[in-house]
Structures are given as C-alpha cells and as structure tokens.
Amino acid sequence: MTSESSLTFDEEAFVGGLSDPSSAHYVHRRSVLDLVNKLHSYGLHQQLDLPQIAVVGSQSVGKSSLIESISGITLPRAKGTCTRCPIECRLSRSTSSWYCEVYLRVSRQLAEIPFGSVITTKSDVEDRIRRAQLAILNPSKPASDFLGDLGRADIEANNEISFSSDLISVRISGKEVDDLSFVDLPGIIASVREGGKEADIEQVKALVMNFIKKPSCLILLVVSCETDIENQGARRLAKQVDHSGKRTIRKPSSFILYRWFKKLRIAVLTKPDRIAVGEHSNWLRLLSNEQERFKHGWHCVKQSDQQQLDGGISWGDARQNEIDFFSGTEPWSTLDESIRSRLGTQYLTGALGDILFNLICQRLPELLNEVESKVRRIKEDLGDLPAKPSGDPVSIIWKMKAAFEKDVKQLVEGIPEAGIAGLIQTFHREKNQFREAIFRQAPDFRPYNKANPHPQNKGIFGASTAANVTQTIDEDALEPSGPRAPNTAVYLDEVLTTAQNAITRELPHNYPYAVKRHYASRFTKAWPNPAHKLFEDMEHHFQKELRTLVTRHFSAFSPGGLFDAVWRTVLEQLKNRKERTLQKMQECIALEHEEPATINEHYLADYKRKFHARYKAARQIHISYSSNLQTLVNGGYQNSSVMHSALDYLRQMGLDNVKKDDLLRLIPADAADDAIEIMSEVRAYYQVAFKRFVDYIPMIIDFELLKGFDRTLGDALFEGLALGDDQLRQRCSAFLKEDPGVVRRRESLYQDLERFESALDDLQNIPAVDIESDHDSLASIIEEESQQKKLSSSFSAPSSALAHFISRGY
C-alpha cells in the first residue's frame, strides 16, 4: 500500500462520495443520488422521509471549514454572516468544466427559485450565497432585488428575521467534484449578542431538530477538539434523537444518525492540530475505539487554520496540507494502518458516500410504496372535492340542478346501500312505532265487574293471556303484545251502566247506537298525537337529508350565493309540502272522528265474531271456573281426539262449516250478553278502523311530503333560482363563484399530484436500477463495495504504536 508520506492531492482524481467513476457500479450509485436530489427539488422532504446528510454543530467549531473541505467552495465568513438558514450542497462529478448554480427553496412556494445566473468562477460563490441568505431573511422583498444593490456587502443588513427554515440549494458540478449531497444547518447557539433575541436560541434548536428527527437523516455532528466533547450543545441535541447511538456517525466534528444499519457507527475528530500538548491520549483512545466504541471506529480530519484562510489558500493546497499533516506529524503518522485509513477528508467523504448510498438503497422500496400511496390518496381527495366548473354557466347550473333533483328522487325512492340510517328505512321504523302506538290505544274490554275480578282470572286480557287466546283463535293479532296506553281498560259493569243510562224509547234488550259510537269515539280521539309525531319525525329526518344533499351539491358555491338560494328554495318548498300534508292528515283524522263507518262488512263481522267468542268464553270462565272450559279456551283441545270427535259428530249432522273456535259460541248465555255484544262490535270496529288509519296516515306523509316534494322540486328551483329571466347568464356566472378554500385546496392537491406523479415516474424509471427486481442486486453492490474498500469493523485493543505515543505523553 502506498505510504501517506508519498501521497499528493490530485483535484480531478476520485476522493470519496457516492460515485467512483472507476467502479463497476458507478451508474447505480450516481442514479440513486440524482433521484433523491430530484425528490428534494420537488419539495417532498416536507412530506416524505428522504435520506440526507445534515451537518450539525455549535457556532465557531469549524463547521464551515469542514463544508468547504468537502465541497471545494468558500462560505461567507464576514462578521455577522454566520449560517442563518439551511444550505444544501449538491456535488456531482461530470466531464464538463466546473460550474455552480444557486436556488432558493421556500416553504410558501412549491417550485425552486433560481437565484442568479450560472457561476463559473469559484470565488463568486461566497458572495452569491451571502446574497441568497439575505433574500431568505427578508421574505417580504423580491429575492431578485438582492442580486443588485440591495445585496451589496457594504450595506448594513437589517434583516426582517434572524433565522429561517427556508433553504439555499447550491449545485456544484465539475471534473474535480465528487458525488455527495448534504445540508449545512445553522450552528447551535448558547447565547445571543447584545440586542439579539433570546428566542433565537430555541428557534435554531427547533430548526435543527426538525431536520435530524427524521429516521433517514444522517447527522454529521461537528465537535471542535479545542473544547471538551461533553460541553458541546450540538452533541447533546443529537443525543435527544438517538439515545443509544445505534444510528450514529459521530465525530467530535461529526455525529450521524442512521436508522437501518443500527450497527454502523463512525466517529470523526476535527482540528487535531489544536489538541494541547499532553492531551492527545484522550483523542487517541477514541480513534482506537477504546472509548465511546463504534462498530466502524472514528475518523479524523484537519482543516486550514485562520492564517491560511486569510491568505486565500486554495482548496487543493488545503487538501494537500491535510495529507502532509497526517503523514508527517506525530502521533498521527505512526499509528497503525487501520487507524491511518481514517485520517483525512477523503476517507470521511468516502464513508459518508457509502452510508448514504446504503441508506438510499434501503429506502427506495419504501419510498416507492409511500409515493404510490400518496398519489392514490391525493386522487381520492380530489374526487371528494366539487368538480371545477367549466363551460357555459347556464348549462352548468342546469346540470347541477338536474343532478340534485336526481339525488332527491333516489333519496325518496330509497337507497338500499344507506342501511338502517337511510330515509326510507327510517320511515319503516317510524311507521311500525306509529302502528304500535295506535294499537296500544285499543279498548281493553274486560267481561267481568271492576269490583269483583277473580284472582284466578286476573289479567285474562293482559299481555300474556291475551296473546295465548289470540293465537288459538286467529293468526291475526287481536291485542297488543306490549303494555297498553293509559285508561283503555273498560269493565263489563261500566258498559252496562253506560248502555242502560242511554236508553230512551228502545224495546227491552235494545240499546241506543249512541253507546257504540260513544266508545268508538272515545278510543279514536287520541289518534292525532301519534300521527303528528310520525309526521314531525319524518319531516325532521327529511330536512336533515335534504340539507346534506344541498351541501354536497352546492356548498362549494356559497360565495356566489348559489347555496343560499337553493337552500332557501328547498325550505320554502318543504314548508309548502308540510302544510299540504298536515291538511290531508287532518281530513283523514276528521273522517275517523265524524262517525263509525265502514263498507268492509265482512272483516267487521269476522272480527266481531272472534271478539264475541273470546269475551263470552272469558266471561264463562269467570263465572263457572270450569277446568274443561278453561282448557277449551286456552286451546288445550286444539288437536285432541275430543275436538276431532266433536267436529265429526257436527259434520254428520250436516254442519260442515263448523270450526274449532265456533264451539266457543255454544257457551250458555247470561245476563251480560248485551254488554258483550256492545264490547264485541266496538272492539271489532276499532280493529277495522285502526288498520286503515295506520295505512292512510303514512301514505299521506309519503305521497304529500316525500314524493310531493320530489314532484314539485324542479318547478320550485326554476322559480327560486330565477332561471327564466333576462339576466340568466349573468346570474349563473355569479352563482358559480367558488369557495376560496375549495379553490386553494384543489390547487394545492393538483400541485401535490404533479410533484408526486413526477416522483413516482422517477422512482419507477431509475436508469440501470429496478427497485423491485434489483433490490437484491443493490444489496450485493453494497456488500461488494464494502469489501473492496475494506472498511474496518470494531477494534479490540490499542495498537502498539498508539500505546507507545500515549506513554510518551501525547
């Protein structure tokens, strides 16, 4: 191996970074670096975790010198011109002559802003960066103004802000440039000068943390060897995001956070010429990996001193001086070869390039998935926004009107996909509740005296017994299964008293028709309450659904008044339909209250027969307590041989149409038969009237309110939006003024879509690299190049040379 003492620096020779032109994998490495740089240029670093190197350090620790030694450019060094915003350096080797371009990347603009023309002279870069920083720190002024007199160095700066997260991007290309990208962050400050802002201390910390907290950020922590390593604020800040050091490249000049390669650790010492006599041993222990051990050991670099900088030392001479220092100065020149291979900027650059390449290769498949997911989500978000109006305003309004009417019609007809929350599904539930409310108001006639109910027969017409008797008589429910409405119970003696008190000129055992009408009216007078509740509930649900539809179709055009005009028309039309519906409901209720009437004589007679048999059976049980009769009433003989024999004998006598429940009518008569007759007919009529009422009221609501609104909506909108007057075109144009928030959101999404689709296209078409199929090959490239570079692993003991120099007091 060539000794360091014989080395000379060749500016055009490959030193380090991502792309060694002589490497078989040069195309791969250069392609992935260019890709990540493009993703940064798209501004995606705010939304994606992009691999990058962040240079972090306290102020005045030589951070700028380190940047200059890697990039070959000069940063502003005049008083008061410290780094106050992130400066991105993109270095790329090319066959063309050296050149530099400067861009501004500000948060309020998605596209990068070119700042000045192409620079072809290295000495001009410092002034351009200084002017660019002034533009960043004075955001209210046009950036281009600082390329002129406003950016002159002899003008005292009175910046609008002290620090900024907006970024200066410096792109350098040439034959002597090695491929690498990194961002230099403002130095951590512990105090401010007189007249400064205390808030700047925390602002800089927050700015730095915003970069280094990302898992794919390689933290290059610059720590001066002039100061105790434990006392440097940037190191403490880096430890906040990496307590264990597992993701770290450290240098008391440098500390790199690294996510995937948890065992990869590199440390770098800087300013070794500033180490005081007798204190070398502390730093040499770090280099030997005895103290603060790292898997890949420590690096060390040397920058030019202030005298050399003031003398205008060239970049090439500075690099040659570094080589000469490490090759000709003890103890550095006598260290083991494994340690000396970590001394110098070229080795640091090579290590950074390897780690960055590995990191990018690891992130590429994840980035592809994340970008694909972002593109899908953006398209979904755009689909959720109202379409941007384009074309003839009148035609657009008519189309919007038609689309709204179509959705209202579908709402009224019913939407199966809406499930239980749908309007018509809700109507079904409300109708059932309405039916039950009316059914619970049915007369609860009890064929025994109020003062003398037998305990054995208590509740014979309650829920359980009534249900049993009902099921034995007919499948049609005759009594409510749940609790009845209050004041529905009527006893036999009450019916008899009412009937007898109403007698005028009737013959014996005849009672006035008014008695039956009295009871029929008594039990239908409360019907309006459930009917109006049904209407109010449905009107509320309908208005809520209409509000949702109006919002969906027209909310984007609130600024032009279209939303308000449509909603006002909808409310007015809903009011009209409400009045019409209530009028029809009132007519239906009035018909029921007028007098008992039906031409459905068959059902009335059938129900009367059923209730008469039921009441009479219950009455007989109450009187006789016959166990056999109780069994008959409860259906105990339903399918017995006794029942079949009785029916057979009756058929032999010519009574072919006798049914099982007809036998209940054979129960002997008693004095209560007249009351039972009244009970049976009133209860039968209630059953007939109740069934038609619970049909008609929902039908009126459906026809007049829901369907009626749908039928008349088109004409109402035509009138409400004044679509027939002479100023139609102007009005429609005014209507289509969009919500500024929607416009901004759409524009932002389209800009994001353009950037992410460009990123997706780049990720899917990396020259010479297939992310998905070549992932294994990329991994093999990483391993192969690691072997070629012979990166050393951990150290177990100090070398003999190191021990020798420690013993001599270095």
How many other C-beta atoms lie within 10 A of the C-beta of residue 396? 18
**67 & 146 share domain:** yes
CA-based R_g, the chain, Å:
47
Is residue 366 a part of any domain in this protein? no
DSSP-derived 3-state class of residue 429? helix
pLDDT of residue 692: 95
Asked if residue 21 is part of any domain, the answer here is no
* Residue 430 near residue 538 (C-beta atoms within 8 A): yes
- Clarify whether residues 187 and 114 are in a common domain: yes
| CA–CA gap between residue 552 and residue 403 (Å, rounded) | 11
Mean pLDDT value of segment 209-224: 84
| 8 Å CB contact between 768 and 27 | yes
pLDDT value of residue 810: 40
Looking at residue 682, what is its pLDDT?
93
Determine what percent of the chain is predicted with pLDDT higher than 70. Answer: 78
678-692 pLDDT, tens digit each = 999 999 999 999 999
271 and 415 both lie in a single domain: no
Closest to 159 measured CA to CA, from 142, 143, 139, 137: 137
| Cα–Cα distance list, 66 to 57, 81, 271, 391, 744 (Å) | 11, 17, 10, 59, 43
Secondary structure (3-state) at 596:
coil
DSSP element (H, E) containing 269: strand 267-270
Q: What is the pLDDT of residue 462?
A: 41
Question: What single-letter DSSP state applies at residue 588?
Answer: H
Does residue 254 register a pLDDT over 60?
no
**Does 589 have pLDDT greater than 70?**
yes
Residue 703 DSSP symbol: I
Residue 601, token pair as written in the block: 């004589």
State yes or no: pLDDT of 427 exceeds 70: yes
What phi and psi, each to the nearest 5 degrees, are found at residue 481? -85, -20
Q: CA 779, 785, 790, 792 torsion: positive or negative? A: negative
Q: How many domains does the chain have?
A: 2
Short-list 10, 28, 113, 17, CA closest to 782 = 28
For residues 212 and 434, the model is more confident at 434
Cα dihedral: 692, 697, 698, 703 (round 10): 110
Measuring CA to CA, how many Å separate 573 from each of 119, 154, 554, 663, 724?
71, 74, 17, 59, 18
The answer on 427 and 336 residing in a single domain is: no
Contacts of 59 (CB under 8 A, 6+ apart): 82, 187, 188, 189
Does residue 247 surpass a pLDDT of 60? no
For residues 474 and 352, give the distance between their C-alpha atoms in angstroms, rounded to a whole number: 91
pLDDT mean over 503-521: 86
Can you list the positions of beta strands (E) in 212-255?
217-222, 250-251, 254-255
- 347 and 422: one domain? no
Q: Give the pLDDT score at 130.
A: 94
The predicted model gives 408-414 an average pLDDT of 96
> 86-139, pLDDT tens digit by residue?
999 999 988 899 999 999 999 878 789 999 999 999 999 999 999 999 999 999
Residue 25 covered by a domain: no
In the structure, what pLDDT confidence band is assigned to residue 604 with cuts at 50, 70 and 90?
Answer: very high
**3 state SS of 702:** helix
Assess if residue 105 is contained within a domain.
yes
Q: Where are the beta strands (DSSP E) in 478-522?
A: 489-491
Ramachandran quadrant class, 371 (left: phi over 0; alpha: psi -120 to 50; beta: rest): alpha
CATH number at residue 346: 3.40.50.300
Amino acid 72: pLDDT: 87
Q: Is the pLDDT of residue 611 over 80?
A: yes
Taking the C-alpha atoms of residue 235 and residue 251, their distance in angstroms, rounded to an integer, is 9
pLDDT of residue 790: 47
State whether 432 and 521 are in the same domain: yes
Of the pLDDT bands very low, low, confident and very high (cuts 50, 70, 90), residue 732 is very high
Check pLDDT > 60 for residue 515.
yes
For the chain, the average pLDDT equals: 81
Does residue 684 lie within any of the structural domains?
yes
Most distant CA pair in the chain, distance = 144
Q: Are 453 and 338 part of one and the same domain?
A: no
* Residue 651 clears pLDDT 60, i.e. is over it: yes
Helix ranges restricted to H, 595-721: 601-624, 627-633, 641-652, 673-700, 707-720
As to burial, measured by CB atoms within 10 angstroms (0-12 exposed, 13-18 middle, 19+ buried), residue 6 is exposed
Tens digit of pLDDT for each residue in 743-788? 889 999 999 999 999 999 999 887 655 555 545 555 555 555 555 5
The owner of tokens 């371009």 is 101
Q: What is the pLDDT of residues 280-315, one digit of tens each?
A: 888 888 778 787 776 666 788 898 888 888 888 888
Whole-number percent of the chain with pLDDT over 90 = 39
| Cα distance between residue 375 and residue 753, in whole Å | 6
pLDDT of residue 258: 33
In a domain, 452, yes or no: yes
- Residue-level pLDDT at 596: 92
Q: Which two tokens stand for residue 615?
A: 């009441």
Q: What does the CA dihedral 445, 450, 456, 457 come to, rounded to 10 degrees?
A: -10
| Co-location of 412 and 289 in the same domain | no
Q: Which of 709, 733, 757 is the C-terminal boundary of a domain?
A: 733
How far apart are the C-alpha atoms of 191 and 696, rounded to whole Å?
A: 84
Give yes or no for residue 704 having a pLDDT over 90: yes
Range of the domain at 309: 50-352
Tokens 């034995």 locate to: 472
Comparing CA positions, the residue from 764, 757, 758, 765 lying closest to residue 382 is: 757
Name the residue with tokens 């400064």.
196
Of 308, 329, 352, the last residue of a domain is 352
Q: Mean per-residue pLDDT for 333-350? A: 87
Confidence of residue 215 (pLDDT cuts 50, 70, 90): confident
pLDDT computed for residue 403 by the predictor:
95
Name residues whose C-beta falls within 8 Å of residue 772's C-beta, 6 or more positions apart in sequence.
365, 368
Cβ atoms of 616 and 447 closer than 8 Å: yes
- Whether residue 745 is contained in a domain is answered as no
State which of 645-654, 664-673, 747-756, 768-777 shows the largest mean pLDDT.
747-756
Rounded average pLDDT over 6-22: 56
The verdict on 297 and 418 lying in the same domain is no
Higher per-residue pLDDT: 9 or 382: 382
Q: What is the pLDDT of residue 585?
A: 97
Tokens 């050399």 map to which residue? 308
Give the domain CATH number at 444: 1.20.120
CA 798 → CA 263, 287, 437, distances in Å?
Answer: 21, 9, 94
Residues 131 and 62 in one domain: yes
Q: What is the pLDDT of residue 292?
A: 72
Domain shared by 329 and 424, yes or no: no
Same domain, 348 and 413: no
Domain-terminating residue out of 733, 761, 779 = 733
- In this structure, is residue 485 part of a structural domain? yes
Q: Structure pTM?
A: 0.62
Query: What's the confidence (pLDDT) of residue 464?
Result: 38
**Integer CA distances (angstroms), 190 to 160, 197, 220, in order:** 22, 12, 19
Helix H or strand E encompassing 437 = helix 423-439
